[in-house]
Amino acid sequence: MNNDVIVGLDVGSDKIKCVIIKKTPNQHYGIVAVGETPSAGVKHGMVVDIASASRAISQAVAQAESKADFSINEVSVSLPAIQVSMLRVHGSVNVARNDKRITEDDVINAFRQAISTAQLAANQEVVDLVPEDFVIDGFGQVPNPLDMVGVILEVNAQVFIGPKTIVENLKTAVRQAGLIISELILSPIAESELILSENDQNKGSIIVDLGASQTTASIVQGHRLQFIANIQQGGAFITSDIRVVLDQQDRISISFGQAEQIKRDFGYADPLKLNSDRVIELNQAGTGQVQKMPVNYLSQIIGARLEEISSELYAHLNQLQSIAVPRSMILTGGGAALSGIDELFNKRFNKEVRVFVPQEIGLRHPSFVNALSVANYVANQSVTDWLAKRTLNLALVAPSANFADAASGGSTQKTKNPKHTRSTDKKPSFLDKIKEYYSQMFE
């Protein structure tokens, strides 16, 4: 496979998605094929069973291969932002060549020196590295120092630090599927490049990725990722709530798959906005009996879980002190497909909220954003961004000649990422929350 073809891989908790893009005659990239299979061996965005995850990855890739009619051996992989912290670093090296012309090796050495200043715990590693700017002999704001002349090369960069376990298990699962990892990219970084316009990048935006078993919020300002928060709840929790509440409170037994289909077909995020007499007829699992459920009741179950997710997200955003919380919020991920969720988050957060859905044929669902954004990022990354990945041994394939090398600027703040802790006190049941929903949610 050559540099004209890029494959984005998203190893999610619900689905494994593979997106193939290929350079067109006009030097743009177009969608070639998509593969999607049920996930296995992945929980809360983390690989927990390498053999099962590897088989699921192979199936998704094989599906894309059959549609594209060529073999895939290299993939660019989305890395989930779980327990990730951010840090600004600085590196400085003497230019090695006698003629003082700066080479790729000088840039990599500067990156390595910068990384060495980050203090890491034994179970941590640098999972991504993004250069901000370079300084040559005291002259700063250089976007790309390659082939320039200087004695001392400095770099200002942003490093992302995460647990080794998550990274290494993901790598192993992909490799055991018979694939080479051409690049590994932190998902919020890739998503921001796909989702945000130039204006969004400059003025600042919140991206909320509503996945199956986790929700990740990130803030981008000045073309730089400034904040990441991870909530261990997502769309699959809503599906489970529907199944459990109907079973325990209404004696209606349905499968998880049925609950998921009901959520997709009839679910609405905000029960306060839903005024419907519509009734859903349910085929009870194993009996063939038909039972009825009002859509308003379904919305109350959904709303109770979304209250938990939005409340935890609100707490994360509320503790920010070093940066201002932007007015713009973009929802994506599979959970963002739920009807009315943009209105609910608009009311909950008092933000300008919209849902991002890819417009490419075959990908018009927010759940494809992760896989597509990784492929898009690789297709458009600068040479210095690629050298940063290579420094971390996360980029093995040289960038194609048409890769952009745009200047990037903006300052980055060190951001705290408080761990989600569970109270030992007994929590109210979802039925209790549903009863109190109308009076408490938006006080």
Phi and psi (nearest 5°) for 392?
Answer: -90, 10
Average pLDDT of the chain is 87
Say if CB 295 and CB 268 are below 8 A apart: yes
Question: What does the pLDDT average to over 349-359?
Answer: 95
16: number of CA atoms within 13 Å, CB side?
Answer: 31
Per-residue pLDDT for 1 more than 80? Answer: no
User: pLDDT tens across 371-384, in order?
Assistant: 999 999 999 999 99
Say if CB 210 and CB 332 are below 8 A apart: yes
Query: pTM (2 decimals)?
Result: 0.85
Give the β-pairing of 205-210 and 224-231: unpaired
Residue that wins the pLDDT comparison between 158 and 412? 158
345 vs 280: CA distance, rounded Å: 26
Give the β-pairing of 5-11 and 74-79: parallel
Report the 3 state secondary structure along the chain: CCCCEEEEEEECCCEEEEEEEEECCCCCEEEEEEEEEECCCEECCEECCHHHHHHHHHHHHHHHHHHHCCCCCEEEEEECCCCCEEEEEEEEEECCCCCCECCHHHHHHHHHHHHCCCCCCCCEEEEEEEEEEEEECCEEEECCCCCCECCEEEEEEEEEEEEHHHHHHHHHHHHHCCCEEEEEEEHHHHHHHHHCCHHHHHHCEEEEEECCCCEEEEEEECCEEEEEEEECCCHHHHHHHHHHHHHHHHCCCCCHHHHHHHHHHHCECCCCCCCCCCEEEEECCCCCCEEEEEHHHHHHHHHHHHHHHHHHHHHHHHCCCCCCCCCEEEEECHHHHCECHHHHHHHHHCCEEEECCCCCCCCCCHHHHHHHHHHHHHHHCCHHHHHHHHHCCCECCCCCCCCCCCCCCCCCCCCCCCCCCCCCCCCCCHHHHHHHHHHHCCC
Poorest-pLDDT segment among 49-58, 187-196, 431-440: 431-440
User: pLDDT tens across 401-417, in order?
Assistant: 443 333 333 333 333 33
4 vs 344: CA distance, rounded Å: 42
158 vs 358: CA distance, rounded Å: 28
Q: How far is CA 398 from CA 6, 130, 305, 389, in A?
A: 12, 17, 45, 11
**Strands of the 15-23 sheet, one edge to the other:** 29-38, 15-23, 5-11, 74-79, 180-186
pLDDT range class, residue 2, cuts 50, 70, 90: low
pLDDT range class, residue 43, cuts 50, 70, 90: very high
Q: Spell out the domains of the chain, with CATH numbers in brackets.
A: 85-163 (3.30.1490.110)
